[in-house]
Structure 1
Amino acid sequence: MGDAAANGPTMNFLRLARVKIMDKPSGYSKESMEALAKKYAGEAGTINQTRTANLTDSTVIMVLSESFSDPTRVPGVSFTEDPMPQIRAIKSATTSGLMLSPGYGGGTANIEYQALTGLNMANYDSSLSIAYQQLVPKLKWTPTFNQIWNQANGKSSSIAFHDFSSIMYFRDRNYQKFGFSKFYSTDGKLVLQDLQSIDSDWYYSDSSFYRQVLESVEDNQQTSQFIQIVTMQNHLPYNDWYENNQFKDEDTSSDIDNDEKISIETYAKGVNYTDQATADLLNQLNQINRPITVIFYGDHLPGIYSTANEDKHNQITLHETDYFIWSNAASASANTKLDDTTSDYTSSNYFMAQAAQHLNAKVSPYLAFLTEMHAAIPAISVPASAGDASKPVYLDADGNRIQPKDLTTQQKELLHDYQLIQYDLTAGKQYLKDTSFMATAK
């Protein structure tokens, strides 16, 4: 499930030696990786001719909002009041859309891994179920996007926040390997203060958690930062936590049993609290006179939609969450909204490439590859997200599934390049480390 339900991290760690990462792609060699790096250096040069900014001109805050998604998108679920009116308005005014998630009811760490690395779980062998536990601990080098800020402004420019235990999914050791200089959590060396829950909820509220993050942003006046945030408020279970839940009276869902309705109504109220807290956070960031961009996304839907889940035609919908990329008033990208073809559908591995486009920022050869990959196949996920164990899930710009047999020659070539890149970085010889593949142009 999500963080709190991930029992047995030690057991998974012990399985490292037996896990198969991925098959070696055809044509993998030092020469082929050097040629690939050179190829996308050329693509980066072309893209950067029209880009005027650098990613590190801005503070980028990446918010993984636990289980956040629009409940009214689920077939059969409806309310007379919109649970997320403010985020819906934000999405209408800035770069936004739907993210194809490899998880339903869980899988948080893998979605976060994709967002921070640009790698995709669909390229790995199915025996590798949790990258944070079975892969990252054994790697000597794991390039992550926060390291772009480290290289420009020093290691102190990368910090992370999670309002739960630091050891879950080995985040404490993985974040250190990723180059985060500080990690605030509910235990460990840096402990979050003054966190509060809403009514009887088991987890801390987004509003009290955001206050901690905002204080850190306000305290840093010198350099831009990369800030990683993982929330917990809307984690399962959903046991009628909230005292004044208007969604009980405003539930107009059809053909759903009472237990499921209670979970959905509780969840909808949690979404409503996140909606308000997130709008408040953006309003406060708007008062800060330096450029800040927020990448906000839900990692997966909660696993509470039993009725909708019975219909196999709903499987793609049950793996699509909400995301947006927003820049504050001090940013040159304030009020930027990328076109629908570019933003309507994505997967979390593409977020940094999209953020660079949103910011009109120059890209590394790696981000140039991801930009081209996203244009060719807007969303990619593991087979489980469509109930078919044999085929990856690819979506086009309209959210329709692309069958592997219908892939174009260009799409197949890009997917092969993706496999070469991912194999080299995680299972191969890491030849790309000795190239400029990860280096962003200045």
Structure 2
Amino acid sequence: MKKLGALGPLLWTALTANLLALSIQYVSLKPYGISLLYWVNAHKDLYALSAGILFCILLGFGALVNNYYFAIIVFTALIGALDFGQYHKLRILGEPIYPWDLNQLKNMKEMLQIVRNMVSPGLLIAAALLVVIALAATFRIPRKRLKLPLRAAFLTIAVLVVFACTHLQNSAFAKPLEKLGAADYHWNQQQNYLENGFMLAFLDNLGAKMQNQPADYSEAAMAQIVQKYGQTTNASATASGTQEQPNIVYVMDESLFDPTRLTGITFSEDPMANFHEYQNTYATGYSLSPTFGGGTSNVEFEALTGLNMSFMNEGAVPYQQILAKKNSFPSLVSMLKSRGYETTAVHPFDKTFYNRNRVYPVLGFDQFISQDDIKYKDKLSPNGYISDMSAVKQVVDVLNSGDQPHFVHLVTMQNHLPIAEGMNGPNTIQVSGLSGSGQTEMESYAQSVKETDKAVQYLVDSIQQLKRPTIVVVFGDHLPALQDQTYADHLSAATPEQKQQFLHETPLLIAANYPLQDKNLGTIAPSFFGPLVFELTGQQLPPYYQLLDNVRKQLPGIGPNLYVDANNVASLSLNDEQKQLLHDYELVQYDLLYGRGYAASLLK
């Protein structure tokens, strides 16, 4: 070691950077069955770039702490944790780790609760032993301290490299990287990570916008849209409307899916008996979720703002990337608040998840009841989450308080991952058509859904006792991340359109304590819940909702790479008229999120 002198730390840093680059790329490719050697051979320049990026970051970190061996140990541990998260997120949700996912590290305790079945005690013990051995070795190895000018130079190099890689949409930085094979794949994050490599894709996302500016965005273009929709005749009042301002309740139920839709699988009893019975009494259909297996806040974003994730770059998380940085943002919540509503959010989990404690006030909520504040804390097992029944009881209490109309938005937790036997009580439903772990998983999930079905019945029965007109919208945020084979058997003969539609449709129920005209809702995106509820309650639609309503009547289901028309026909493409309609929608969305607010008058 002494013979290497000052070169020792640099050589160890270079070796470590290469090994870490290989490790993170290996776990990024393994879920797809792609060979690491094949990828490196096909992307030699990009692999060298990934290793170079890690080398420069390590160089800067080592200069910062002035101990390269300590820096190597710490950085190896961090990349190891990133490897673990990348592999399991890809395997379960089919999407990579994004920079904004790191915001959830502040919820480490809750995150460990969610992934507890993925981490074995042996893995934890092995990791702890490695850390102890590595740290002991670090302080036994002689180290060469760098002089201040050299440390400053290494830090500067690291900062410049990271800055360049986070500004690839700037042509000055993009052109040199294009020669190495890098390309802009923000519209497809899977391809972004597979083609550019984890390190470049991850850093590039740090500087990327959620939505690109449309080429024709201008004050004149927005003025035309304002004129077009600002003068639209309001046709919201219907025979099912109410004279008194009604209570409005959203129940976004975690991972709620109707498992009886799966062919070849039978259940000893219907886990959604009440839900199915309500098809004869209330309005039912399907919500077209923009996500699968996760990404709850994006569904919530659509339902509360009327904006749509299909216009955004893949992997975008508006709550964390933009709303948490604003002081206010127009939403269904703020509209109702301006009309005299008390607005309450209920989420029986950590309030900082997805920055909800910061985002909810931005959207206009007066009150946020989290797991710290909720009155009812019952769980279906000691290892489970606060039950759906406890959550809806809290909602009923809110509805019974005060004299003003209420808007209550509930996001449940009961059915969240992991789906494990006994998580929500003993399995009482037997499943046929699956075997092994797939059967146990489905029986456990069916038990969870059965308990949710009871909670929905309690809520629907409870609103019948209220004097004020009340309407409840119940929908699943996304399908559960069940074993691939469970879905594959059902979708074996499906077309691409049918497959996409099925994997993004969750149950939708609109119940009220007064008659509703429309019983068959078809498939509808959460973005359009606001204008739909306004119509069903006879409330005046602002021009923005009139725009959304025009879109809904032609394309009620809009999701990433999928469109469902008014006849419930799914398609992967649009005709010219539909393209123009959606382009108006896209321009308004960009104007609200990133633009100059030219269309603000549409919101009034």
Q: Structure 2 length normalisation: TM-score?
A: 0.63
Secondary structure (helix, strand or coil) at the match of 1:47 reads coil
**Does the Cα contact within 8 Å between 1:69 and 1:301 map onto a contact in 2?**
yes
Q: Give matches, 1:13-412, under 5 Å.
A: 18-43=207-232, 45-48=233-236, 57-128=245-316, 130-153=317-340, 157-187=342-372, 191-220=373-402, 222-241=403-422, 242-248=424-430, 251-252=431-432, 254=433, 256-310=434-488, 311=491, 313=494, 314-328=499-513, 334-338=514-518, 340=520, 343-382=521-560, 392-404=561-573, 407-412=574-579
* Per-residue CA distance 1:310-364 (angstroms, 9 max, x = gap): 3563442122100111111xxxxx2314154xx1111111111111222233211
Aligned 8 A contact 2:285 2:523 in 1: yes
8 Å contact from structure 1 (residues 93, 335) kept in 2: no
Q: Are the counterparts in 1 of residues 241 and 536 from structure 2 also a CA contact under 8 Å?
A: no
Q: Answer yes or no: is the 8 Å Cα contact 2:326–2:362 preserved in 1.
A: no
Give every structure 1 segment of 4 or more consecutive aligned residues whose post-TM-superposition deviation is greater than 6 Å.
49-52
Residue 234 of structure 1: how far off its partner (Å): 0.9
The CA deviation at 1:69 is 1.4
Amino acid at match of 1:167: T
Q: Is the 8 A contact 2:304 2:331 kept in 1?
A: yes
Query: In 2 relative to 1, CA 55–184 (structure 1 residues): closer, same or farther, beyond 3 Å?
Result: farther
Aligned to 1:388: none
Q: Which amino acid aligns with 1:42?
A: Q
Contact 2:236 2:535 in 1 (8 A): no
| Deviations 1:226-262 (CA, angstroms, capped at 9, x unpaired) | 11111111111121115542213xx12x2x3311111
1:9 alignment partner in structure 2: 103
The offset of 1:415, in angstroms, is 0.7
Contact 2:528 2:549 in 1 (8 A): yes
Distance 1:372 1:145 in 2: 17
DSSP 3-state at the match of 2:599: helix
Q: Distance in 2 between matches of 1:55 and 1:420?
A: 35
- Distance in 1, matches of 2:443 and 2:586, equals 42
Shift of 1:298: 0.5
Once residues 50 and 277 of structure 1 are traced to their aligned partners in structure 2, the CA distance between those partners, rounded to angstroms, is: 30
> Does the Cα contact within 8 Å between 1:19 and 1:134 map onto a contact in 2?
no
In structure 2, relative to structure 1, the CA distance for the partners of 1:75 and 1:152 (3 Å cut) is same
Change over 3 Å in CA distance of 1:49–1:289 after alignment to 2? closer
Pairwise CA distance, 1:144: 0.8
Q: 1:306 to 1:348 in 2, by over 3 A?
A: same
Distance 1:262 1:50, change over 3 A: closer
CA contact (8 A) 1:19 1:127 kept: no
Amino acid at match of 2:322: L
Contact in 2 for aligned 1:163/1:192 (Cα 8 Å): yes
| Distance in 2, Cα, partners of 1:109 & 1:304 | 20
Q: Find the aligned partners of 1:50 and 1:351 in 2 and give their Cα distance.
A: 16
Change (3 A) 1:50 1:336: closer
The one-letter amino acid of 1:318's match is L
Q: CA deviation at 1:215?
A: 1.3
Residue 428 in structure 1 maps to residue 595 in structure 2: yes
Q: Quote the RMSD (CA, aligned, Å).
A: 2.6
For residue 61 of structure 1, report the CA deviation from its aligned partner: 0.7
Aligned-residue offset at 1:132: 1.0
CA distance in 1, matches of 2:255, 2:240: 35
Q: Secondary structure at the match of 1:96?
A: strand
Higher relative contact order (CA 8 A, sep 6+): 1
SS in 2 for 1:219: coil
CA distance in 2, matches of 1:244, 1:320: 28
- What is the distance in 1 between the residues matched to 2:104 and 2:380? 32
Shift of 1:37: 1.8
Residue 160 of structure 1 aligns to a residue whose secondary structure is strand
1:139 Cα deviation from its structure 2 partner: 3.5
Report the residue type matching 2:297 in the other structure.
Answer: A
Distance in 2 between residues matched to 1:9 and 1:337, nearest whole Å: 44
What code does the residue aligned with 1:336 have?
Answer: L
Give 1:102's aligned amino acid. Answer: P
1:54–1:362 contact (8 Å) kept in structure 2: no
Distance verdict in 2 for CA 1:28–1:54, change over 3 Å? farther
Is 1:60–1:227's contact at 8 Å kept on the other side of the alignment? yes
Match of 2:37 in 1: none
Higher Rg? 2
Query: What is the CA distance between 1:96 and its match in structure 2?
Result: 1.6
> 1:304 Cα deviation (Å)?
0.8
Structure 1 residue 140, shift from structure 2 partner = 4.5
| Equivalent-residue separation in structure 2 for 1:90 and 1:177 (angstroms) | 35
The whole-number CA distance in structure 1 between the counterparts of 2:409 and 2:237 is: 30
* Residues 55 and 123 of structure 1: CA distance in aligned 2, closer, same or farther (over 3 Å): farther
1:416 lines up with 2:578 in the alignment: no
Corresponding pairs, count? 405
* Aligned counterparts of 1:246 and 1:238: Cα–Cα separation in 2: 15
- In the superposition, relative to structure 1, how do residues 68 and 59 fare at CA in structure 2: closer, same or farther (>3 Å)? same
Give, in whole Å, the separation in 2 of the partners of 1:55 and 1:365. 22
Report the Cα offset of residue 54 of structure 1: 7.7
The residue type paired with residue 437 of structure 2 is: D
One-letter identity of the residue aligned with 1:195? K
Equivalent-residue separation in structure 1 for 2:360 and 2:568 (angstroms): 33
Question: 8 Å contact 1:149–1:224 — kept in the other structure?
Answer: no
Contact 1:377 1:395 in 2 (8 A): yes
Residue in 2 that maps onto 1:386? none
Task: Give the distance between the partners of 1:152 and 1:56, measured in 2 at CA.
Answer: 12
The residue type paired with residue 230 of structure 2 is A
